[in-house]
Amino acid sequence: MSEAGFGFEARELRTKAELSERTALLVSRGLTVPEGAGFVLGLYQGERLVATGALVRNVLQGIAVDSGFEGEGAAAAIVSSLIKRAIERDIEQLFLFTTNEEAARFRNLGFSLIAGVPRGAALLEWGSEGIEDYLKALRDVARGKPERAGAVVVNCNPFTLGHRALIEYAASHSPWLYVLVVEEDRSLFPFEVRFKLIREGVADLTNVTVIAGGLYIISSATFPTYFIRPDREEAAQKAIRMHAALDLATFRARIAPALGVAWRFVGTEPFCGTTSVYNETMQLVLPATGTAEATAWGLEAEVPPVEVAEIPRFEIDGEAVSASKVRELIRAGRLAEVERLVPPSTWKWLCGAEAAPVLEKIRHSDSRH
């Protein structure tokens, strides 16, 4: 136990009863319980739980304050306590989701705004490094390359002929194409492998640059619900749309201008409900024009729109080619059938010794990623 200031006491929540009380508080505030929390904190006045928050990797989630204690410093106290715990764990950069209306409160604690949707959510960050460092690196990559470039954001778990077809189409319709690879290492194929297979698979395309997506493109920070099994409940679907909007607003307002991107290319999504919602939201956020439409997504009116080109999924014998199909075949012990779905570079890697532990992991996993 530790004193949190503001007359409250901070305690780590461990027992079933404590966590149930925390769940009730989150639900009362219209929030869902975040998955994967490594540390859950409760703020007490006496024996009454007045606020809670969790540390999920480097993201502060599940921040809630009892309605009877709003405006009494509980939110600041719980966040300050979580920052202290993060520092003790050598975490130097933190992200925080909150309502857009509450964002200003956390700026007083050293957080800076990345993106915010009016009457919706906001994403903030804290730490010695931040998005400006990332944007500088992107501007360095884009220096000397054509304006009005295209962009593709991919996970490629693993790289398939479907990914190749999308990138090839996008490259043929762009003066330059940036392929931004989801860097979050929560897929069955590790990031280093995915990045390597993409670079090898597009090496013949002379106007393509492959870039690590970092913390600001479909990561636990910008889109945490991308990495969990989709839930059809209304609250879960609302969270997916909220996170998608923040991720896409960040892309349009920050990342696209840094790279000179005017087009984003995406494949249709017949399989994953979360990605389908993301694509739908993309069609609303990226091309939004006019003051009213842009500001509805937290965008300044002068931020250039990014057009969206949605390309039909590449098919073989009438069946869409997907990374999930590749993993399904591997899981079923039908590796030989994968060869027709992937480029030669991916197939060569799958047949090598380096792939053995990855293939074994897939065979024993039911992960959707």
Beta-strand ranges (E) seen in 91-212 are 93-99, 112-116, 121-127, 149-154, 177-181, 208-212
The Cα 270–Cα 293 span in angstroms is 28
Structure tokens at 99: 């309502």
Q: 3-class SS at 219?
A: coil
The one-digit pLDDT tens for each residue of the chain (369 residues) are 455 555 789 999 999 999 999 999 999 988 878 877 779 999 999 999 999 999 988 899 888 899 888 878 898 899 999 999 999 999 989 999 887 887 888 888 899 999 988 877 889 999 888 899 999 999 999 999 999 999 999 999 999 999 999 999 999 999 999 999 999 888 999 999 999 999 999 999 999 999 999 999 988 888 877 766 555 566 667 778 888 899 999 999 999 999 999 999 999 876 677 888 889 999 999 998 877 788 888 888 788 999 999 999 999 999 999 999 999 999 999 999 999 999 999 999 999 999 999 999 999 987 766
Contact 122, 115 (CB under 8 A): yes
Packing angle between helix 273-285 and helix 234-250, nearest 10 degrees?
A: 50
pLDDT the model gives residue 295: 84
pLDDT the model gives residue 236: 67
Q: 3-class SS at 159?
A: coil
CA distances to 125, 338, 345 from 351, rounded to whole Å, are 42, 11, 10
Counting Cα atoms < 13 Å in the Cβ hemisphere of 14 gives 3
Contact 279, 143 (CB under 8 A): no
Structure tokens at 237: 């679907």
Structural domains of the chain, ranges and CATH numbers in brackets:
2-129 (3.40.630.30), 132-363 (3.40.50.620)
The Cα 163–Cα 311 span in angstroms is 11
Contact 91, 85 (CB under 8 A): no
The Cα 96–Cα 287 span in angstroms is 26
The Cα 212–Cα 225 span in angstroms is 20
Q: 3-class SS at 308?
A: strand
The Cα 153–Cα 143 span in angstroms is 20
pLDDT the model gives residue 1: 43
302 Cβ partners below 8 Å, 6+ apart? Answer: none
The Cα 58–Cα 94 span in angstroms is 5
Sheet holding 48-56, edge to edge: 2-5, 8-12, 39-45, 48-56, 59-65, 93-99, 121-127, 112-116
